[in-house]
Homo-oligomer: A and B are copies of this chain.
Amino acid sequence: MDRVAELVERRLTALLAPATASPKESHETASPLSEAMRYAALGGGKRLRPFLLIESARLFGVPEQTSLYPACALECIHCYSLVHDDLPAMDDDALRRGRPTVHVAFDEATAILAGDSLLTLAFEIVSGPQSHNDPAIRAELTYLLAQASGWQGMALGQALDLAAEQRPFSLDETRAMQKLKTGALFRFACEAGAVLGCADEPSRTALVRYASAFGQAFQLADDLLDAQGDADAMGKAASKDAERGKATLVGLLGIEGAKGRLAGLVAEAEEALDPFGEQAATLIEAARFVAERRS
Contacts and interface: CB of A to CB of B under 8 A. Distances in A.
A136 interface: yes
Interface residues of A, number: 56
Interface stretch (A6-14, A153-161, A220-228): A153-161
Contact of A142 (B84, B115, B139): B139
Given A124-B143, A159-B113, A152 B24 contact: yes
A151 B150 CA distance: 20
Contacts of A176: 23, 26-27
B160 A146 contact: no
Contacts of A67: none
Interface string A86-128: 0101100000000000000001111011011101110110011
Contact of A151 (B107, B109, B121): B121
A77 B143 CA distance: 16
A295 interface: no
B30 A109 contact: no
Interface stretch (A31-39, A49-57, A237-245): A31-39
A80 B116 CA distance: 10
A89 B117 contact: no
Given A120-B149, A151-B33, A176-B23, A109 B135 contact: no
A20 to B, nearest CB: 13
A288 to B, nearest CB: 31
Interface of A: 19, 23-24, 26-27, 30-34, 37, 80, 84, 87, 89-90, 107-110, 112-113, 115-117, 119-121, 123-124, 127-129, 135-136, 138-140, 142-143, 145-147, 149-152, 155-156, 158-160, 162-163, 173, 176
Q: Which 8 A-B pairs have the closest CB atoms?
A: A124-B146, A89-B108, A120-B150, A117-B151, A127-B142, A135-B136, A33-B159, A31-B159
7 contacts: A27-B176, A30-B173, A31-B156, A33-B156, A34-B156, A113-B162, A127-B139
